[in-house]
Amino acid sequence: MNTTTLTALAEPNRLHIIELIRDRGPLTIGDIANRLELNQPQTSKHVRVLHEAGLVEVQPAANRRIIKLRTEPFQELDHWLESFRSMWDDRLDRLDEYLRDIQGRDHSD
C-alpha cells in the first residue's frame, strides 16, 4: 500500500470532499466550498492535494474545474485490504467449510 493515498484521505476536510463527490457526483470547486463551508482557497488547495495523490480528476470547463473521483486508488486500497480479510473471514470460512461438510456427510448410520 502506498501512503500518499492514505495521507490525502487522512485530512478531515479532504475526506469530506471525497465523500461529497462520491454521494453527489462531480462538483466544481465552488460547489464543494459551499457545501462544506470551506473557503475557496483552502478548497483549491485540498483539491490540489487530492489531485496530486491521484484520487481525483480535474476537468477544466471554461471558468470552472469539475472534480471527479478516480477509481484506481480505491481499488488499490480495496486490494490491500484483501490481505487482511482472512482475519475476520475465518469465522465465515469455517462456517462455509462446515456447511460443505454437512452436505457431503454420510447420514446412513
15-54 residues near its own copies, rule: CB under 8 A: 15, 19, 22
Segment 68 to 107, residues that bind DNA, using CB under 7 A: none
Phi, psi of 62 (to 5 degrees): 55, -125
Q: Which three cell numbers stand for residue 43?
A: 478548497
Is 25 an interacting residue with respect to DNA (CB under 7 A)? no
Among 39, 83, 86, 103, binds DNA (CB under 7 A): 39
- CB of 37 closer than 8 Å to CB of 55: no
28 binds DNA (CB under 7 A): yes
49 and 14 Cβ atoms separated by less than 8 Å: yes
HSE, side-chain direction, 13 A CA sphere, residue 40: 6
Smallest separation, CB 39 to its own copies (Å): 20
Cα R_g (the chain), whole angstroms: 22
Query: Is 71 a binder of its own copies (CB under 8 A)?
Result: yes
Q: Which residues bind its own copies (CB under 8 A)?
A: 1, 3, 6-7, 9-12, 15, 19, 22, 69, 71, 74-75, 77-78, 81, 83-85, 87-88
